Each structure stands twice: as C-alpha cells, then as structure tokens.
Amino acid sequence: MVERWIHEIENKFSNILIDRYIIMPNHIHCIINVGADLCVCPQENIKLHNMDGHIGPPLPQMIQWFKTMTTNEYIKGVKNKIYPPFNRKI
C-alpha cells in the first residue's frame, strides 16, 4: 500500500520523479528529483520557481499529502479488517 502511494506522488505533483526508495519497518527513504537542471534550460525553468527560488511543490506539502493518503487508507483497511489495528501513533 505504501509503495503504491509513493508512485502516486509523481501523478499528484508535477515535475517530480521518485528516483529511488526503500520501505523500512517504520519509515521510508526516498530520493525525489524535482524539475530540470537550471543550467540546461534556465529560461524555461524560471517560471517554475516559487518565491524562495524552490522549483516545484514544497517538500512539506508532498510529505503531508503522502502521510494523509497512507494513513486514511490504513484506517479504512483496519475498519475492513484488511490491516491489523495499530494502537500507537502511525
């Protein structure tokens, strides 16, 4: 389930590529490529910059969306007896 939502990040946020990831027992590691190299086509990428010079959506927004989607699916899975209940914070 987590793997499926990792791949959905690319569909939800433009200019995002999940390069590599590994799912650990209680967290994930993920390399996220954002946008193109500014040295290759600087004029094309100027319009992609946010006010702080960041290209693409902010990382906290992507993480929040990912955590919301996986948590909601897990809760539904517990209610449908697909996943075991988890008594601590997810």
How do residues 26-62 score in pLDDT, each as one tens digit? 899 999 887 755 455 555 545 555 555 556 678 889 9
What tokens appear for 51 in the block? 């006010």
Mean pLDDT of 70-76: 93
Amino acid of residue 47: K
Task: Answer whether residue 25 is part of any domain.
Answer: yes
Alpha helices in 13-58 (DSSP H): 42-46
Task: Answer whether residue 48 is part of any domain.
Answer: yes
How do residues 51-61 score in pLDDT, each as one tens digit? 555 566 788 89
Task: Answer whether residue 17 is part of any domain.
Answer: yes
Instruction: Give the domain extent around 70.
Output: 2-79
Task: Answer whether residue 86 is part of any domain.
Answer: no
Number of structural domains in the chain: 1
Task: Answer whether residue 89 is part of any domain.
Answer: no
